[in-house]
Amino acid sequence: MPPVHLLVLLALLALSTTLPAIEYESLQSLRDAAKNQALKIATDSDNTVIRVGRLDQRLKLQRCAEALETAPGPGGRRIGRISISVRCHTPKPWSLYVPVTISQRLRIVVASHPLERGDILRNPDLAYREMELKRAAHRFFTDKRRLIGRQVSRRIAADAPIHPNQTRKPTAIERGARVNILASLPGLRVRMAGKALNRGSVGDVIRVRNLSSGRELDVEVLSPGIVRVFHAR
């Protein structure tokens, strides 16, 4: 009678010849699934650039018997670095997160030369440049006309994109400036001398002091040096 260990070996050999070879999901199929899901997330697919991150070449996941299931990862972001969930339910469940970068290629407004704080923007100060953005498009300007006439609030380097927080409406009244205060009463319009207690642009509500009475008032800036007693609507 053959030794026991020989019988076990023969049984294992017989079993190995009957088991099918395990097939693994290709890394490319995982990348393609993640990319397709990212395109669904993107807000503007026509101008979207999708870059799928590297996957570990040693990754061994059993091939899925059905279409791979994908979903956005945690965070709910639609641009920048995100994760895409890729799952399989049969024959052997597995899941992983695939790193993806979503960016948008847009023509945005940049500074045509260095801009200093206090500069009033004119058309020659601005240029267009096509750039790949990894942040939300609303953080940039795509139309020069929205910037012309605004005042630079912090230095902007040449060729740099212009952000909303880098400009403001031009200052019409500086703190400490003398102003004319207009007040309207039924059938009467009064003009008084005042002093601005803070600076403001046209449309802003600032605080001034009536130089005759010493009373402090909330006023709306109408134009340089001219304010009107503010009445909340």
Q: Which domains does the chain have, with CATH numbers?
A: 19-104 (no CATH), 114-168 (no CATH), 172-229 (2.30.30.760)
Tokens at 154, concatenated: 């912090």
Q: Is the pLDDT of residue 185 over 80?
A: no
Average pLDDT over residues 66-71: 94
Instruction: Read off φ and ψ for residue 117, nearest 5 degrees.
Output: -55, 135
Q: Which tokens sit at 194?
A: 């005042």
Residue with structure tokens 């049969």? 90
Distances in Å between the Cα of 9 and the Cα atoms of 1, 22, 53, 152, 190 are 15, 22, 44, 82, 109
E strand or H helix at 179: strand 178-185
* pLDDT above 70 for 15: no
161 has a pLDDT exceeding 80: yes
Q: What is the mean pLDDT of residues 55-59?
A: 92
As given in the structure block, the two tokens for residue 37 are 């899901």
Give the whole-angstrom CA distance, residue 78 versus residue 81.
9
pLDDT of 122 higher than 70: yes
Task: Write out the two tokens for 5.
Answer: 């260990």
pLDDT, the chain, mean: 88
Q: Is the pLDDT of residue 64 over 80?
A: yes
Q: Confirm whether pTM is higher than 0.85.
A: no
Residue 34 DSSP class:
H
Share of the chain above pLDDT 70, in %: 88
CA distance 62 to 71: 20
Over range 135-162, report the average pLDDT: 90
- Between CA 156 and CA 162, with CA 159 as vertex, the angle to 5 degrees is 50
- Residue 101: phi and psi, rounded to 5, are -115, 125
The pLDDT value given to residue 6: 58
Q: Which has the minimum average pLDDT: 52-56, 103-107, 213-217?
A: 103-107
pLDDT of residue 224: 92
As a dihedral over the C-alpha atoms of residue 51, residue 57, residue 61, residue 66, rounded to 10 degrees, the angle is 40
CB 193 within 8 A of CB 207: no
Beta bridge partners of 80: 102
Instruction: Measure the CA–CA gap between 66 and 92, rounded to whole angstroms.
Output: 11
Q: How far is residue 109's CA from residue 107's CA, in Å, rounded to a whole number?
A: 7
